[in-house]
Chains A and B, each alone.
Chain A
Amino acid sequence: MTNHFIDFRNADYILIIGSNPAENHPISFKWITEAVTRGAKVINVDPRFTRTSSKAHFYARIRSGTDIAFIGGMIYWVIQDIEAHPENYNMDYIKNYTNAAFIVNNSVKLPNDIGQDGVFSGFDSTTNQYDKATWQYGNTATPETDTTLQDPYCVFQLLKKHFSRYTLDKVSQITGCPKDRIEAIYGEFAKSGAKGKAGTILYAMGATQHTYGSQNIRAYAILQSLLSNMGIAGGGINALRGTSNVQGSTDQALLWEFLPGYIIVPVDTDTDLGTFMKRAKETPITPKGLVWDKAVHWKNNYDKYIVSLLKAWYGENATKDNSFGFHYLPKAKTGANYSHIAMIDAISRGTIEGVWIWGQNPAAGGPNSNGARTALANLKWLVMTDLWLNETAEFWRRPGVNPADIQTEVIILPAAGSYEKEGSISNSGRWVQWRYKAVDPPGEAMPDLEAINMVMEKLKELYEADTSAPNREAITKLAWDYGGEITSDKVAKEMNGYDLTAKKLATDFVSTLKNDGTTSSGNWLHCGQYPEEGKNLAQRRDPVDVSPNKVGLHSNWAWSWPFNRRIIYSRASVDFDGKPWDSKRPVLLWDAANKKWLGDIVDGGGEPINLAPAGDKRGALIMTNEGVLKMWGRALVDGPLPEVYEPWESPVTNLMSGQQINPVSYISTYMNERGTVDKYPYVGTTYRCTDHWQTGIMTRNLPWLVELSPNMYVEIGEDLASNLGIKKGDKVKVSSARGDIEAVAVVTRRFQKIQVNGTTIHHIGILWHWGYSGLSKGDSGNILTPNVGDANTAIPESKTFLCNVTKV
């Protein structure tokens, strides 16, 4: 999240799309309710009328997977409104804090240009990949700008041209939402574009789990930039994370493409640290003609972060002479994908022989569960660290399988639960909060840290002994010196890092971390969390809000990365003199007398633009190398702007162009049958209920929660149920090209048929909490989902696929 949960109360307009906070993030609704009680308006966009919808002032029922059409239409509506009524928008912000005025390479072609037929320039139809050369700025070193926003190749005009096809009629045709409702919502949320008004967007997996999921989020980013909602209190784009510490685990390199702190993973062509740095480091680029003249970009310090990381890992063995041990790091294959779907595929081919799984359940949690369960039998060994036996741990004795036919050796390591160990948990708002052990873990269960320490001690011993082991130095040279005593406190200090010369904890990543091997930091994002001995700031519990006008920053409660900054892009909340755009809800204030910033921690440091000397007038954003919000993108693999495509399995043809699906979609060939609308006429979409969590392993074993939701169920609209003769409580079979499941039918008015360009579309709502393990058993919703994923992240397309339903 760019902002944080408490900050929702500051919003005037809350657009909830692709998420269901009332049911899946119940505590977040405390702050939404506070905003509403104050007079905020809630807009909810969802194929299903949820408990969130029940609390919304505006509800739009759209066909699953049509977010880009819906938001694209709003972007076009806002652009037209900006041209007609610029006084209703923050034009200073749009021109100077976004790349609206930047001039793009004039050989760029948009999907509607002649001969493009739905794809951007640079597309290679033989490889289904883009060359991004034409998406860059005309002048890549110091981009030209046009602050009148009239140049046909300025970002604003390109946006206008691209989204001019997203008319109200077209959006209504694609989404199935009535035109008057769409326009009412556009008009309402656009009001958040005024100075002094705040609008926030809350999204979750409903937005990301599509073959164009990243572009859904890009659409939100463009909209929020045009509405000057980034960096301000009550604004931002807030990804509601579904797991208590998923933010923390992502920060510590849960995702395969990152090392800790979002440092990209080295690949086999990164022959040395220098080559890697050349690829990874991005120097800031400062545009000409804006009110500011210096871009400050976090990736400019990449070398300090990776060298400090290598020092944390390899200690004395990381020296200037050996590139700080860069060669020890395993390297990914260039162009290879190591995401979840690809991993299951590799297991099925025997490329991966053994897997150690911590707190995950791919036999029920990933797409295409039948495929995953089949693949697991190709493993020689499988180690499961979990609180309970889950479907993955029991795949070898699942229904319909003869255990004697499966040779995989499965080892179970019982884990300690969150109340049975000490450590930090990072919430969705990036607050790192220290937690303490309440009770001892039962039986042989132990904290992850202790388990991995025991294994590492043994691994070190084995690698020391075996001089022929491949890349053995990656293990033997590690500064893994805990002995039998590993504590989360010690690890927290290592993550924070040290000034190795002064033998002191690092105070923060700007003033301490260096690229010469004199500092260490296991994760630069956490540098500053533990600035001196005995002072772990994640342990702070001061609830007093000291922010100006009490906007709820609560800066002395726990610690948030980076730098204890509570709202990312905070510099965009003030004008060129350092005055907040919204005087009622200031995130930052320039204290002219004492020449310092008050409130949140300012992005990038320095003085306000108008006060700073020439050459040090800093851009609003440190997260992009051009110092502004990027409405025009240059980084994603599937286009500089979002464009409407249909899901991999769709009941209709793309009404926007001849290109049916995102051409860069990640499509697995492993056990991945593709369904067609004649056999599978309905749109399936998966989601969670309040009572169960993920694959249910933490909740399906708790009697009180099983009592609330005892059986696997699917939700079917009254209209379709009546057509099919299905009554509430009936047992039904839901099938897709990948498999079929049985479930209890919950018949409801909350799903309704949708008319899309003359075709009637029905949705089937599918829970994915169940499986064959635990106290409450049932079929897994993910048996139905396909092995296809987003072009950029390969997150599976679980939110839209084709299925059929029949009464059993």
Chain B
Amino acid sequence: MADKAILFDATKCTACRGCQVACKSWNERQAVDTKCDGTLENPPDLSNQTWLKMEFREEGNNGDLRWLFTRRSCMHCTEAACVKVCPTGALFYHPDGFVSYAKEKCSGCGYCSQFCPFNVPRLDTNRVTGKGTMDKCTACTTGGFNRIDNGLPPACVKTCPTGALTYGDRDELITTGRARVQQLMVQGHTNANLYGENVVGGTHVLYVLEDSPSVYGLVENPEVPVVATAWQDIVKPAGYAVAGLVAAGLLLNVMVARINLLRKAKKEKEGK
């Protein structure tokens, strides 16, 4: 079966945020208690209640001011770090290629959020029990809320008024996306690109951008951390097969700690 995908054409997005609300409405996510922080974005971040967030960026100035809008949500990677590191099988590939999630299997370990190259999964830890729960966009494949298996487009796509979001066969969307990029280049957007076609094995959310991904605040070259690949392909099978599970778990913990240190150092360097 051909993989499905969502195509987000940023050049057609007016940031009405209908997608953001439709996502909450369909998936029964709670409203987050927010405050206006002097920008037009809210909630401040993704969370287990907010799976999709639109971001706004003002680029340039008076004469050449641009206002760019980006979608922040799960990219549904083909080589998904989160699926690789999930120790309980809660995260898995839906037959259409999306990264789905069975919440009841989640142990709250948080590895998925540590390894995701797009910084998407969020762990909300209960302060009393200490138990964390993860949640993220499943492209509307969550059990009980499954639109995809019922032949419907994801809620965000369904509600998009301008056609910035479309849903269909990934191959066809790539053709559409490439043609749109060509059109944008002809119109003078020399940095126009189709984001997600090849990175991390190819994502199932593709972006048409009129400028480089970094201008939109997107990771230029997302990669699955080597450690995650090692975990799934070597340690995890071995660990489950023999009695080395605890040791393997410890090893992963060390790796996570190490990665966290590196991330922190990088962030400090960037002055964030």
Contacts and interface: CB of A to CB of B under 8 A. Distances in A.
A729 B37 contact: yes
B67 A54 contact: yes
A690 B40 CA distance: 11
Interface stretch (B12-20, B216-224, B234-242, B250-258): B12-20
A209 interface: no
A88 interface: no
Contact of A730 (B15, B34, B38): B38
B67 A51 contact: yes
B17 A728 contact: no
A29 B36 contact: no
Contact of A30 (B25, B68, B69, B161): B161
A435 B17 CA distance: 26
Interface string A696-737: 000000011111111101000000000000011110000000
Contacts of B40: 689, 709, 746
B38 A703 contact: no
B20 A708 contact: yes
A710 B58 contact: no
Contacts of A33: 12, 162-164
Contacts of A344: none
A29 B161 contact: yes
Given A27-B161, A33-B163, A750-B58, A49 B36 contact: no
Contacts of B33: 707
Nearest to B67: A54
Interface in A155-173: none
A26 B14 contact: yes
Interface string A20-48: 00110011011001100100000000000
B21 A705 contact: yes
Nearest to B24: A704
Contacts of A705: 21
B36 A729 contact: yes
Nearest to A28: B161
A752 interface: yes
A26 B36 CA distance: 22
A729 B39 CA distance: 7
Given A53-B67, A706-B31, A752 B62 contact: yes
Contacts of A488: none
A628 interface: no
A207 B15 CA distance: 24
A745 interface: yes
A51 B36 CA distance: 19
A30 B163 CA distance: 7
Given A54-B66, A704-B24, A708-B21, A26 B38 contact: no
Interface string B22-56: 00110000111111111110110000000000000
Nearest to B14: A22
Contacts of A750: 58, 65, 67
A22 B16 contact: yes
A26 B164 CA distance: 12
B36 A713 contact: yes
A741 to B, nearest CB: 14
Given A704-B25, A707-B31, A748 B58 contact: yes
B61 interface: yes
B17 A691 contact: yes
A744 interface: yes
Given A30-B161, A746-B39, A710 B16 contact: no
A596 interface: no
| Residue among A27, A30, A747 with max Cβ neighbours from chain B (10 Å) | A30
Interface string A679-704: 00000000001110000000000011
A707 B43 contact: yes
A738 to B, nearest CB: 24
A710 B17 CA distance: 14
Interface residues of A, number: 41
A710 B66 contact: no
Nearest to B56: A51
B18 to A, nearest CB: 7
Contacts of A748: 58
A707 B14 contact: no
B76 to A, nearest CB: 24
A299 interface: no
A613 to B, nearest CB: 49
Given A27-B161, A750-B67, A711 B35 contact: yes
A710 B34 contact: yes
Contact of A707 (B32, B37, B162, B163): B32
A689 B42 CA distance: 14
A53 B66 CA distance: 9
Contact of A749 (B30, B34, B58): B58
Interface in A746-805: 746-750, 752
A540 interface: no
A37 B176 CA distance: 13
A179 interface: no
Contact of A703 (B17, B31, B36): B31
B38 A55 contact: no
Given A51-B67, A53-B67, A728 B38 contact: yes
Contacts of A704: 21, 24-25, 31
A625 B20 CA distance: 50
B35 A710 contact: yes
Contacts of A711: 35-36
Contacts of B42: 707-710
Given A22-B16, A707-B43, A49 B67 contact: yes
Contacts of B35: 710-711
B65 to A, nearest CB: 6
Contacts of A53: 67
A51 B56 CA distance: 10
A746 B38 CA distance: 4
Contacts of A708: 17, 20-21, 34, 42
Contacts of A23: 14, 16
Nearest to A54: B67
Contacts of B37: 728-729, 744
A690 B17 contact: yes
Contact of A690 (B16, B31, B38, B66): B16
25 contacts: A23-B14, A29-B16, A30-B161, A33-B164, A49-B65, A51-B15, A54-B14, A54-B67, A55-B14, A704-B31, A707-B31, A707-B33, A707-B43, A708-B20, A709-B42, A710-B42, A727-B38, A728-B38, A730-B38, A744-B37, A746-B39, A748-B58, A749-B65, A750-B65, A752-B62
Given A704-B25, A707-B42, 19 more contacts: A26-B14, A26-B161, A26-B162, A27-B161, A49-B65, A51-B69, A53-B67, A54-B14, A54-B66, A54-B67, A689-B40, A690-B15, A707-B31, A708-B21, A708-B34, A708-B42, A747-B38, A749-B65, A750-B67
Closest 6 A-B residue pairs measured CB to CB? A728-B38, A729-B38, A703-B31, A54-B67, A22-B14, A711-B36
